[in-house]
């Protein structure tokens, strides 16, 4: 009954429009994540810059990928650390 009333007033979150929007949101995360290896490359470079302030890393073995599963997309990075720096060079922080 409540659901019927909500329907009548068009405010329930499971209205088909909201289902459509949520499905679109997800499908577009996947679609857009697909497009550009160049973007990932840029992200990689920025990551190296930031992380190098704190630790020495093996840049050649660094891996950054977008992992897509059914209902989410994750940024997965594998960054081999060679050694930690004793003091983080915070003053050199980018930005």
Partner 1 sequence: MGEVIVITSGKGGVGKTTATANIGTALAALGHKVVMVDTDIGLRNLDVVLGLENRIVYDIVDVTHGNCRLKQALIKDKRFEGLHLLPAAQTKDKTAVNPEQMRELCSELAKQFDYVIIDCPAGIEQGFKNAIAGAEKAIVVTTPEVSAVRDADRIIGLLESAELRDPKLIVNRIRPLMVKKGDMMSMDDIIDILAVNVLGIVPEDEMIVVTTNKGEPAVLDNYSRAGQAYRNMARRITGEEIPLMDLEADTGFMNKLKKLIGFK
Where do contacts with partner 1 occur on this chain (CB under 8 A)?
10-12, 15-18, 20-21, 23-25, 27-28, 31-32, 35
Q: Which is nearer to partner 1, 6 or 57 (CB)?
A: 6
Strand 81-84 relative to strand 55-57, pairing: antiparallel
Give the whole-angstrom CA distance, residue 42 versus residue 51: 14
Q: Which is nearer to partner 1, 30 or 54 (CB)?
A: 30
- Environment class of residue 69 by beta-carbon count within 10 Å: exposed (0-12), middle (13-18) or buried (19+)? exposed
Q: Which is nearer to partner 1, 35 or 84 (CB)?
A: 35
Q: How many CA atoms lie within 13 A of 74 on its CB side?
A: 7
Instruction: Give the nearest distance from C-beta 40 to partner 1 in angstroms.
Output: 15
Instruction: Give the nearest distance from C-beta 18 to partner 1 in angstroms.
Output: 7
Q: Which two tokens stand for residue 75?
A: 């940024």
Residue 75, classed as helix, strand or coil, is: strand
Q: Which is nearer to partner 1, 31 or 56 (CB)?
A: 31
Instruction: Give the nearest distance from C-beta 33 to partner 1 in angstroms.
Output: 12
């Amino acid at each position: 009954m409540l659901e019927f009333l909500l329907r009548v007033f068009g405010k329930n979150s499971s209205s088909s429009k909201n289902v459509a929007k949520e499905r679109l949101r997800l499908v577009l995360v996947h679609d857009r994540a697909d497009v550009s290896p160049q973007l990932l490359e840029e992200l990689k470079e920025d990551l190296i810059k930031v992380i190098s302030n704190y630790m020495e890393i093996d840049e050649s073995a660094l891996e950054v990928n977008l992992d897509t599963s059914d209902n989410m997309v994750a940024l997965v990075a594998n960054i081999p650390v060679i050694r930690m720096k004793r003091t983080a060079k915070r003053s050199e922080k980018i930005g």
